Amino acid sequence: MKIGFVGLGIMGRPMALNLKNGGHDLLVPERASLTAEIRAAATVLADATAVAAGSDVVILMVPDTGDVERALFGAGGVAAGLKNGSLVIDMSSISPVATKEFAKKINALGCDYVDAPVSGGEVGAKAASLTIMVGGPDAAFARAKPLFDLMGKNITHIGAENGTGQTCKVANQIIVALNIQAAAEALVFAARAGADPAKVREALMGGFASSRVLEVHAERMIKGTFNPGFRIRLHQKDLNLALTAARELGLSLPNTAIAQQMFTSVAAHGGADLDHSALVKAIEILGDFSLQDKT
């Protein structure tokens, strides 16, 4: 198929290349930030309208709700170039409510729409092992599934209603944030009490506390290496979606709110673009103690 791809950042770039390596033709809009690798792999067109006009499927992978809206309906956007029967796949992590509205507008143009946010970070994007959470009609999901198979391993059709994929991703981000906070608190506690945090992590990896967060993010905390796989400011955005929806539903999410405050503390100290494992810095600040003192 001819696949248009809009949003070639940390996640989008390897996802697009995996589609190309799977035998599909790749079309992308011109951006100064396009890498030489993408330029060699794709046909570069003037804008997203031209990309949509030349594609069977258009995939979006951009940071926030407003970015998706502009990519779809702004000047030079995807919607203006769509053909009847085209498929739009939004793999960004955005508002479930806004997703429903975007889907209605795209459907009105005679096109299918699925929301398919992902989890797995840069590592999963490069390894084509992403978890993909999909909302949308059965037929649209069936069209998209072969493409998802080239980008991910755990692919779940959450529901036939648009927005259900995004709802699942919000739930995912709650769990990830609270696991990061738990790992940060545990390691700072252990180190402050005199234990080697690396040895503590090694021991915990063999028990019931084991998790991907403990495996990947806790190691970053111990080493103090926070090059972004997933930036704090993006996780703040996702938790804001959770807390906004919770208010609308009359729900209390107290630990989610605390995790958001920890991220906000790190961002206030200049860490908004660090990896979300840098949440540990907020715990360190509160305790006036750094893991680096013990490593």
Instruction: To the nearest 10°, report the CA torsion of 247, 250, 255, 259.
Output: -10
Rounded-to-integer distance, Cα 191 and Cα 186, Å:
9
Does 169 qualify as catalytic in the annotation? yes
Mean pLDDT of 65-81: 98
Indicate the angle between helix axes 164-192 and 232-249, nearest 10 degrees.
Answer: 120
Q: Is the pLDDT of residue 235 over 90?
A: yes
Q: Is the pLDDT of residue 228 over 60?
A: yes
pLDDT for res 295: 53
Tokens 């390596």 found at = 21
Closest CA to 221 of 270, 266, 255: 266
What pLDDT does residue 121 have? 86
The tens digit of pLDDT for each residue in 114-137 reads 999 999 888 899 999 999 999 999
pTM for this prediction: 0.91
Contact present, 230 and 275 (Cβ < 8 Å): yes
Confidence bin at 294 (pLDDT 50/70/90): low
Catalytic residue among 83, 105, 153, 169: 169
Q: What is the pLDDT of residues 8-26, one digit of tens each?
A: 999 999 999 999 999 999 9
- Say yes or no to pLDDT of 143 above 80: yes
Q: Which domains does the chain have, with CATH numbers?
A: 2-161 (3.40.50.720), 167-294 (1.10.1040.10)
Q: What is the mean pLDDT of the chain?
A: 96
User: 77-108: per-residue pLDDT in tens?
Assistant: 999 999 999 999 999 999 999 999 999 999 99
Angle between helices 96-107 and 232-249 (to 10 degrees): 90
Phi, psi (degrees; rounded to nearest 5) at 291? -55, -30
| pLDDT band with cut points at 50, 70 and 90 for residue 236 | very high
Helices and strands of the chain, counted as H and E runs: 14, 9
d(CA 120, CA 155): 12
The whole-number average pLDDT for the span 35-49 is 97
Closest CA to 116 of 163, 184, 186, 70: 163
Beta strand segments in the chain, E: 2-6, 25-29, 43-45, 57-60, 87-90, 112-115, 118-119, 130-135, 152-159
Instruction: For residue 42, name the pLDDT band (cuts at 50, 70, 90).
Output: very high
* Residue listed under structure tokens 């309906």: 73
Give the pLDDT score at 292.
83
For residue 46, what are the contacts with CB-CB under 8 A and spacing of at least 6? 29, 30, 76
